[in-house]
Structure 1
Amino acid sequence: MKKFTFLFLMFAIVFTSYGQSRYESSIAVVKKQKETFKAIKATNTASVAKSISAVEDTLYNDGGLSTAIGAGGGDLAVFTEFQAADLAPFIGKEGLEIKIGLNDAAEITALEILVYTDTNIVGGAMPIHYQTVPTWVDGWNTYVLAPSFTIDGTPLFVGYNVTYNAGGYPAGCDAGPVNIQGNWLYYGGWAHLNDLSASLTGNWNIRLNVGSALTCPQPYDVAASNITTTSADIAWTTGGAAAWNLQYGVSGFVLGAGTTIVATNPKTLTGLTQNTDYDVYVQDDCGGEQSAWSFVYTFTTAADCPVPSALNVTNITPSSCDLGWTTGGAEFWNVEYGVAGFTLGTGTNELALSNPWPVAGLVAGNYEFYVQDFCGTGTSDWVGPFAFTIPNCLPADQCEYVFDLRDSYGDGWNNATLTVTESGVAVATIELADGSAGQQLVALCDAKAIEVIYNKGDWDSEVGFTITDPFGTELYTIDDCDAITEGQVVSSFTSACTPPTCAAPTALAATTTQTTASLSWTIGDVETAWNVAYDEAGFDIGTATPVAVTATTYPVSGLTAGTAYEFYVQADCGGDVSAWVGPFAFSTPCADVTAFPYTEDFEDAAAWQACWSNMTGTLADGTDMADGGSWFAVDSTSFTNQGADYIYSGLGSVGIGYSAPDFQWLVSPSIVIPATPAYDLKFWLHTESSVADSWISLFYVKVYADGVWTEEFAHTDGTNNLFETQVVVDLTAYANKTVKLGFVFEYNDGYELSLDDVVVDQVVGVNNTTSESIRIYPNPTNGMVNITNANNSTINVYNMIGEVVATVNATDNFNTIDLSNLSQGSYIVKVVAGDNVITKKINLMK
């Protein structure tokens, strides 16, 4: 429900502009939604050979061309309604033409005119008029209704169904205001455009031209049959005449420039050219009057040498295969094959004397092939490419590896995939299409180099998977792929299809301090020796130097605080060894914070994620919290590309969206609060809770000390806080204690929330006069920082880990500090004058 992609009637409405009349004040916004504007000036006359003089009036509910709407590609059906009162003056008249405003004509693939009555709609019957049209342009398009229909006073719904590509904005409408007769749409049910959103105020550009019945209506439903290489039979439904004119020519000719004949119905055209597209128009001849020409109808003559079809590959081995197809009629063929992606004309070309055609001398990899009929007098067009893969081994020499797939939200992987390569050749693509769990088996050849590559999707933090070999040994597991980069090799190993005689260890575990770890495991069978390898996360087991041990535990020292590590273990059974098991990930806790001010601005995601814990639990007291929380690093692309609104300063913050169930904890590293002076916590909070009255973002700050979490701040009233107020939490009660700070998001249909610029420091004790008089500027700065009205004070500049990087003893009212030798980033300026203290964060930009 709340993945922040909102669906209205199963599709999303988006706008573009016909010109600049409506959106002149927000062109930048519109350009974000669509790369180019179309100034709509053209009018489609290609489908109407001459104006219809019988048109007497036009019925419409719109105010002219203004904007265009799309729904993400596919079909969109839109209508305008004419009630009985609208039609009363025209009872007995004919509906002659429909005029519609369109945009993005190049993205439209099909267009159908539809006319319903209200009785049809209620009863679910077919429309009273249905008509496909062959051409369309950007702007107004006028189509003659063939046949026309009689207006009898029954209310009408006049419109069209447009099929178009994703990213197109085909359906024209005006700028509003809402006219509920003019903004109907159908998508599994009837609705008004403004029902979807109050901001959608347009009415469709649909108009009905009415008038007296035509005395010579145009023919329609033109069709071709009995098509040969040089002839075709053309038939149509007459508008009422007994004589006709027919005009034809190579497709694309201008009406009037083709061959015109007096025709019978049907009419056989002869002397045509093989494999050629032809256009046909038909006109009723009513004696003293002629109708408009019909819509264009296009057909293609048969090829003298028809193309083959149904390409296939059979009898695949590691070095050969048979290429096959269904012939167009020839007895010989040209075949060309090569590595996937080759350009036709650069591959291996052979004259095939049989079908299928055997090909040998191949190596493992991905291939494609093309084929054409060779008819003696000529050749057909090439058909292809048809893709196929030559494997590294026969199926009998393969074994199946198990990929268990997980999604924590339960809606599939949202475009994330895994690519499995074998000796450099892609052999499988893995994805979880929907749901919370699934399994995929991948057949791999024995003793080959395997790589598993992660391809990022839309919600990588939800994606998890486990790889298990054919004998039950877990090779790799992960529950949150957000930190994985695009195209990263997440697992590499050598495939093995022979059961190991030495069983692998299980139940890997690690307990850590800031500089040590105790690694442990359970024996695989009866072995008494093992090999262990460990290093910082991401190391390659294939190049590691293992340590031989004789116990199921191994102590490690000399580690770095706040660092992610991994380890593998392998059983040594004497004459044989098991497969490596791992990696098992563990991290050393970060060093306790003892330098102040302690500041976390969330600019470096890898740095803060190493020391802050992302936890989840079902209990408010935190006693059951475990890894796997939903907090994430925010950048400008977060929150559906609105991330910049959720950052107070710099380029990053930390945030959370809709997340269930229960409590999501963001926990700081341990902080040693000095005995004196008094300290407090400050941070900036941004909450969005206005989507619905019942959507309330419940947020708390809790402090962990003496084994208990204590609530010190709560935001529970459902109001927004858009970085308008800095939150201050008094830490006086925790003097001389080691604490952790917990920022807690509680599931309650809450919406979106972010935090930025967390600071723990001495309580500021500056009176109002001093606070207002001291100025620290410019911010941001390229190096020089000015401080005024701070005489007789000490000025210290700290980096983000609490180190003093500059000091000035101010004796004048105007002081300047040169920071140009420092690295770009955020710093804290602290001015201390007696008992008064002022701190300000500045950003150094270079």
Structure 2
Amino acid sequence: MKLLHVLLFIIISTTGFSQTIADYIFTSTAGTYAEITGGTVSTAIGDDGTQTAIPIGFTFNYCGTAYTSFNTTTNGCVYLGSSFSYTNDLASTTYNPLIAGLWDDLYDDNNSDVSYVVTGTAPNRVLTVQWKNILWGRYTLNTALPDYRENFQIKLYETTNVIEIVYGSMNTPGIERTVSASVGINNTPGGSGKFLSVTPGVNPTVSNIIANNTIGTITYFTNGLTYRFAPSSCTSPSALTVANITTNQADASWTSTGNLWNIQYGLSGFAFGTGTIVTGLTAATYTIPSLNPSSTYQFYVQNDCGAEQSNWSGPYSFNTLCDITTALYTQNFDGVTTPALPNCWSKIVVGSAGTPTIGSSTTTPYSAPNCISMYNATSVGAATNLLLISPQFSDLAAGTNQIRFRARLSGTGTPVLAVGTMSNPTDAATFVPLQTFYDLTTNWQEYIITLASYSGTDQYIALKHGTGTTNQYIYIDNFKWEPIPTCAWPTAFTTTSTTSTSASFSWQDNAGASEWEIEYGATGFTPGTGAGTAITGITANPTTITGLTAQTTYQFYVRAICSITDQSQWTGPVTITTPCSEVTDFIENFDAVTTPAFPSCWYKVGTLGSANTSTTTPASAPNCLYLYSSSGTNQAMVAMQPVSNAGANTHQLRFKARGSTAGAKLEVGYLTNPTDPLTFTLIQSFTLNTTTFQEYIVYPGVSVGANTVMAFRAPGTPTYSIYIDDVKWEAKPSCTPPINIMASNVTTNSVDISWTLTGTETAWNIEYGLSGFTQGTGTVVAASTNPFTLTGLNPSSIYQFYIQSDCGGSDYSTWVGPISFTTLCESISAFPWSEGFEAVTIPAFPPCWFKENGDWVTTNNANTTYDADAHNGTQFLRDSYSATNEYIWTPGFTLVAGQSYDFSFWWAGDNYSYWVGDVFFNTSQVSTGATQIGTSFVTSSVTTSTTYKQEKYTFTPTTSGTYYMAIRVNCASSSPWYLSFDDFNFEPSPTCPRPTLLTAANMTQNSADVSWTLGSTESSWDVQYGPSGFTLGTGTIVEGVTNPY
């Protein structure tokens, strides 16, 4: 049995139907798909492949034009015009005429093809164009069949000029390309009324107004499905229109051939076929009766030609007139599509500048989904009129009604909202203010204006934007024109305090009542329906409601009781969540929740930063707590389970924590207001020095007082992620360890250790040793003072220590530590001093050396090929390119005033220039106040060499004391690589300096001329020589020679 679905022509409501598409009748049937045989494979292949000027094989008449050839494409359509695009749009005014079987960006690969064949004999021949296994939503070549492959045909029939689209095996499209196909036909010149676009379905429809170019599934493309477009001799009506619209009827009319018509009408959006149908009309007009006021209707018309009927033309939309109304009238603006206004509401928008607007909006309404937005842009002053105008009311002067609405502000400056009346809703000059409000805030507030004394004749209510400041939004919602209640409802209903089992409330009485009723229940309940719990006979304001359940969300309403028979309407809701009940101890490992949720009674405080549970490397699987703050003003905070004994000095907080990077900071404190992050008070701060979990303990003592909620906070400086696990609030041991342990006043052989007590102990044990010692093998000393001084230490050494409380009677706390410190360097007084860097572990410096800026490191010969190797041995000192005032300081030397000293070193470059090197001295390892010695040993214009050269600088201190030597490197370019240094030496200047810069020249088979640079003013020298590598003292010595020799 064939299923016939009649075409629905969709007509713009302000224009008539155009017959340029020749009234093709659309039907959908369940047929059979027969793959063609013996056809011609098209040259349209690959991506966007096309073939043009293909003979149809007969003359085909389409929309009144005869065609003998066609063009095709891999993208699922036959086009009769000369222009085509793979971007499908049946409404296009460019790409037509066109027949679309599945018009989209399809792809032809080695397993698919486009082919065509002409079958039958004149005058009943048929052209079939077939797409076989074409890829839809897929780009990958040669994928396995049948994935993502589609099969369909377009058929053109001789003589009848019928068009068919037949679907074969269809498969779910791929996801490599966005799928968005079109099915249907179009005609020149394109645009509205010049196409028929199919929307597939159980009962498929077509439209010539709205082109469906977003088909993305094969849900309704069953094998054998046939869409048929056949020219019709029964033309559809056109030029649909209405006239004489009233509140309850309208005269519909149309232009059409014939003398018999059918009409179908209903409320806007009704499903075609479900409307009111009137048949057998003998005039091209009909008065549609029994309509509702201020409503939108649609109608369709069909030409009845006897043997056949035309397509339905329509829908044509119109609005019935608004009825004059009276109180009670309500409008929440939710029944429209933004930015439209509801029926019978209007606006006047006259701006002095910018683009002011009034319309419905979804921006944070009081009642979802819509409210009204009034925006003045840059329009200000008397020349601007922004008015939202109500429907017509006949009872403004009745003296028994009031205006009630909600309003809020978005923007800066003083807000102004005027409420008044108008006699003419199209004339802003008729606006007469009743009351002006200056107290709008960013929160919704209710406003009431009574018209008990109004005696005017106006019949419209208007809300006017005050336009006192530019770029202000005023939002309006839940407008009501209602009788003035005999028992006024309370306002300013709010909660004043909340505990785990009770809540206190206050309100503003407006009825002179002495009794009230409060009803509460779960979120969303309706008061007065029995769904809530009613508390009657309340005579105190404020009042406290008890018997609540901890950690539960409630909504509360209040109303005034003016008499037994007269009660106000309900005011509310006020929503609260009771806090958790306080406990005396807890253990939380975050493992019982599904991330990112918090455990019961734990919560993120405020909106800043990021906080949640996480599965990222917990201390105990599977979960831990995560905090991240992007800055010091965007701090993440998490509140813990409330406890009743936070300030009792009986418990401790123990937890494990780590940072995503060493050096992360974590703070522990308490909240005086459990929901306000600004009330956080710090108890203790921690630096997380490793990326693995370490245990930490906090002893709040009595500092927390009566507060019950403690919290973790990520301070945001530095911006590292923090992970917390295995949190315990537990009774503290009888002997608690010290906290806030510090090492200060470090000297070459001593250090002061101080701490904060967590109990009343007066004795402690300290164990110390060189860094890395195993606890139990160190030196243990008893301390009876705080602070305590450790003595007898070695200079320039790294130490670690642990400390425990001794509470007496063999009661000791756990050890706390290790805490590290480094003793100061001892000034060098034994000369000569030298350093060749062979004893250090690269890239570290020898003890008491100090880098001030730059990339100074120690390294070895194997590390790079771009520097010189060590002068002696295998290790040396190095600085790298792009250097700016990069200093390396030696240890300190104890020097005597007036004594001359020599500082020497060997250096090498990298065969590049731009390097500048200088030598300084100072009384501390800092460049501020340092004094340069001599001139630069290398300047930027010199091309350096990888051959080492020795430099010697001499200076004489004017006062005795400790001095430090420094080399400063600068390099303004990134072209060089490295400067290398080795074999430093410091010693008093000798009385007879040794010669330097020994050279040899004029070598023969048995002689050579040697020369040197004088060490001082000497005039006689001794020379010692021998075979290469001889030991000094074993060579041949010649005394009293001259220079050269």
Give the alignment's TM-score, normalised by structure 2: 0.32
More helix, by proportion: 1
Larger Cα-atom Rg: 2
Give the alignment's TM-score, normalised by structure 1: 0.38
Higher relative contact order (CA 8 A, sep 6+): 1
